[in-house]
Amino acid sequence: MSAARPDDLVRSPPPRLRPYVSDYVGYDIAGVPAGTHLGLPSGMLTFIVSIERPLLQVDEETGTADAFDVLLAGLHLRRTLIRHDGVMAGIQINFSPLAPRALFGIPAGEFVHRSYDLTEISRPLAAELHERVNAAETWTDRFDAIDEVLTFVLDGDRAPRAEVVASWRQIAGSHGGLPVSLVADRIGWSRRHLNTQFTAEFGIGPKDAGRVLRFDRARKMMTAGHNALADIAVACGYADQSHLNREFRTLAGTSPRQWLSNDDVARLSVDAGP
């Protein structure tokens, strides 16, 4: 979910959660034309607690919509469609692929290319998150509720193999810039073994992970107001602007400029400035 981010709508989790959760981002969007927001591939799982009304995700092939009070979606290599009537509110919990094991005892690979209502994973946890976030009257209280619920279920002993963790962190830390062969050498595995173990844990291979992370970095630079696509392409490791445009069309189904032009929710970040 992309939107302008005032300081009071963003918070880091407590120290115990930080290996698994990047931050919480609240959004309260109103006054934009009804339409479709594109959920784009990234290096984070999509974990959203809706406020007041459910999030509507549309199946692009059938046109049918599913409503989610608490959405958890895995890593993906294609866009998802979020339908809205010009009003949306919720909290996006930016979830590392290491988080599902620690919080639910399930590898991130179980969620790849799929969206779940959290009730399918843990009905009591989903109900508590949704009820407490919606009962709170301030963003601070909402974030506090998430801190408490996630810290309560956290079990840091449930973790992938150390080599898998290290490989993910190396790829993510380089924004997809490290060759897979170098990552494999660093952890002492063959490239083939790394691919097998990495895919089993996360649902996508290290090459695709690097691809998504490069794309995600480029997308964030665009929404931060960096409009020179040629410069973004170079900074993110693409051969040139044409390469970036091709990747954007493959992963987002549209060009960068069409994305920002047609998606009013995504454009809010650009209009707000860096």
> How far, CA to CA in Å, does 21 sit from each of 25, 93, 97, 150?
11, 7, 9, 10
Give me the CATH number covering residue 49: 2.60.120.10
Asked whether the beta carbons of 80 and 55 are under 8 A apart, the reply is no
Residues in Cβ contact with 161 at an 8 Å cutoff, skipping those fewer than 6 apart: 197, 201
- For position 223, what pLDDT does the model report? 86
Q: Do both 70 and 19 map to the same domain?
A: yes
Per the domain annotation, does 35 fall within a domain? yes
Per the domain annotation, does 1 fall within a domain? no
Q: Do both 149 and 23 map to the same domain?
A: yes
The pLDDT tens digits along the chain (274 residues) read 544 455 579 999 999 999 999 999 999 998 889 999 999 999 999 999 999 999 999 998 888 999 999 999 999 999 999 999 999 999 999 999 999 999 999 999 999 999 999 999 999 999 999 999 999 999 999 999 999 999 999 998 998 999 999 999 999 999 999 999 999 999 999 999 999 999 999 999 999 999 999 999 999 999 887 669 999 999 999 999 999 999 999 999 999 999 988 888 887 654 443 3
Asked whether the beta carbons of 34 and 91 are under 8 A apart, the reply is no
Q: State how many domains the chain has.
A: 2
Spatial CA neighbour of 108 closest among 183, 158, 48, 163: 158
**Which residues constitute the domain of residue 60?**
6-153
Residues in Cβ contact with 260 at an 8 Å cutoff, skipping those fewer than 6 apart: 222, 223, 266, 267, 270
Q: What is the pTM of this model?
A: 0.89
Of 153, 185, 203, which residue is a domain's last? Answer: 153
- For position 269, what pLDDT does the model report? 58
For the stretch 217-222, contacts whose Cβ atoms lie closer than 8 Å and that sit 24 or more positions apart, written own/partner, are: 217/175, 217/176, 218/244, 218/248, 218/256, 219/40, 219/42, 222/256, 222/260, 222/270
> Would you list the DSSP string of 13-65?
PPGGGTTTEEEEEEEEE-SSPSEEEEE---SSBEEEEESSS-EEEE-TTT--E
Query: Nearest 5°: phi and psi at 4?
Result: -60, 145
User: Which amino acid does the sequence have at 221?
Assistant: M
Asked whether the beta carbons of 229 and 193 are under 8 A apart, the reply is no
Q: Do both 183 and 201 map to the same domain?
A: yes
- For position 229, what pLDDT does the model report? 94
Give me the CATH number covering residue 217: 1.10.10.60
Asked whether the beta carbons of 66 and 115 are under 8 A apart, the reply is yes
